[in-house]
């Protein structure tokens, strides 16, 4: 199907409102727009560079966990939570009561992301995996009453206080399962020649249009992007997390999705998505380079000054790359050392300017690897 001939779907009269029934997407999409070719080429080049760079970074899995935390906080912020990356790294007992609900939402997203990425090692990406991931996302939080892990059996809507003043009303719940089946078939259809980035751009649009769950659709829909790229071997590691770009351009993100539905302008959305993938890949490479530069400087200029304790120091550094927020108890357990040794190491790292104390108290102190954390924090997080 020529993408400029795309017809998004039709509005169907329901009781006192109209829902949107999208057409299926399992087609062999084509386009003649030259700008799209150029954007696709650029995005593929940058995505390839990100993939190649991640393959040459020693112990890259150590750094990926922080990418996961960043994506969890950013994707959740799009949905209205206010937990920043520093708060996300804290333990539950260190979170203020009024922030606990948002913190738990982000923790669930981290668990859901880690689960789904691990799940891909044993099963293909499927609607089943998405439902399993959704169950983890919604368990024990505000969405726990909204059928975790199950497609909705009632009508939902986007924007507005009720169905009558909603900005957008997704398809009737009876249509969800066949539409999701069509989406899954499209992702795995080997008889069509649709480039991966174009395919996942269209699939993300369709997922958000179907809105198959009562809650959590935005987060699952954005998680679908790295899951697909990893499952297809486009990325060897889950290093592309696009939510920061979507949050930065939140107005355009929603506007372009609606433009595809209302004006049948899917091409405009695809172009926006390709720019997002390109810019996110570029930033991903820059962040990995900065991480490696920081790692090299710390080992060469600071850890070496610890002398006989340098080996322990390197072990603590590995812990901090996975979680740059630690307590003495964390260090004691992770490194299998005595409380005295753990506190001594933390003291050394404070003297070397690697760790700073973040709580200001004398007990239950939390120490932050701030130089590293700042590479991931959003600009307004400081």
Integer-rounded Cα Rg, in Å, for the chain is 23
Q: How far apart are CA 317 and CA 103, in angstroms?
A: 26
Encode pLDDT of 142-195 as tens digits: 767 789 999 999 999 999 889 988 999 999 999 999 999 999 999 999 999 999
pLDDT of residue 282: 96
Q: How far apart are CA 303 and CA 314, in angstroms?
A: 7
Query: CATH number of the domain at 302-381, out of 3.40.50.11030, 1.10.10.10, 3.40.50.970, 3.40.50.300?
Result: 1.10.10.10
Helix (H, G, I), strand (E, B) or coil at 323: coil
pLDDT of residue 380: 52
pLDDT of residue 327: 94
Tens-binned pLDDT, residue by residue, of the chain (382 aa)? 999 999 999 999 998 899 999 999 999 999 999 999 999 999 999 999 999 998 888 778 878 888 888 888 998 888 887 788 888 888 888 788 778 888 888 899 999 999 999 999 999 999 999 999 999 999 987 767 789 999 999 999 999 889 988 999 999 999 999 999 999 999 999 999 999 999 999 999 999 999 999 999 999 999 999 999 999 999 998 899 899 999 999 999 999 999 999 999 999 999 999 999 999 999 999 999 999 999 999 999 999 999 999 999 999 999 999 989 999 999 999 999 999 999 999 999 999 999 999 877 667 789 999 999 999 876 555 4
Encode pLDDT of 284-309 as tens digits: 999 999 999 999 999 999 999 999 99
Q: Where are the alpha helices (DSSP H) in 232-309?
A: 243-248, 250-263, 266-301
Please work out, in degrees rounded to the nearest 5, the angle formed at the alpha carbon of residue 324 by the alpha carbons of 318 and 322.
Answer: 45
Contact status, residue 43 vs residue 278, Cβ threshold 8 Å: yes
Annotated domain spans of the chain: 32-286, 302-381
CATH superfamily of 32-286: Fido-like domain (1.10.3290.10)
> For residue 165, what are the CA distances in angstroms to 18, 87, 111, 160, 315?
11, 35, 35, 5, 56
């Amino acid at each position: 199907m020529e993408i400029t001939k795309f017809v998004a779907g039709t509005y169907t009269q329901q009781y006192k409102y109209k829902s949107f029934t999208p057409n299926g997407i399992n087609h062999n999409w084509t386009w003649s727009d030259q700008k799209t070719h150029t954007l696709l080429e650029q995005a593929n080049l940058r995505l390839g560079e990100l993939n190649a760079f991640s393959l040459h970074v020693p112990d890259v899995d150590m750094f990926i966990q922080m990418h996961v935390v960043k994506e969890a906080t950013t994707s959740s912020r799009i949905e209205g939570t206010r937990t920043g990356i520093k708060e996300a790294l804290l333990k539950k007992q260190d979170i203020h009561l009024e922030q606990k609900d948002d913190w738990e939402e982000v923790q669930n997203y981290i668990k859901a992301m880690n689960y789904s990425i691990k799940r891909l090692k044993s099963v293909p990406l499927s609607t089943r995996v998405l439902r399993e991931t959704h169950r983890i996302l919604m368990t024990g939080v505000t969405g726990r009453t909204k059928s975790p892990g199950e497609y909705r059996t009632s009508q939902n809507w986007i924007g507005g206080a009720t169905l009558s003043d909603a900005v957008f009303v997704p398809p009737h719940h009876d249509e969800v399962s066949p539409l999701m089946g069509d989406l899954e078939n499209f992702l795995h259809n080997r008889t069509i020649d649709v480039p991966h980035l174009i395919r996942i751009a269209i699939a993300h649009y369709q997922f958000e249009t179907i809105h198959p769950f009562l809650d959590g659709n935005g987060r699952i829909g954005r998680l679908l992007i790295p899951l697909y790229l990893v499952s297809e071997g486009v990325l060897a590691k889950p290093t592309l997390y696009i939510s920061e770009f979507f949050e930065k351009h939140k107005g355009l993100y929603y506007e372009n999705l609606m433009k595809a539905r209302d004006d049948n302008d899917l091409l405009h959305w695809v172009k926006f998505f390709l720019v997002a993938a390109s810019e996110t890949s570029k930033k991903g490479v820059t962040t990995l380079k900065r991480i490696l530069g920081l790692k090299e400087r710390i080992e060469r200029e600071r850890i070496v000054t610890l002398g006989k304790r340098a080996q322990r120091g390197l072990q603590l550094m590995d812990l901090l790359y996975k979680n740059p927020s630690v307590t003495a108890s964390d260090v004691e357990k992770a490194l299998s050392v005595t409380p005295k040794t753990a506190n001594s190491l933390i003291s050394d790292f404070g003297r070397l300017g690697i760790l700073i104390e973040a709580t200001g108290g004398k007990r239950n102190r939390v120490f932050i690897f701030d130089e590293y954390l700042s590479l991931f924090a959003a600009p307004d997080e400081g």
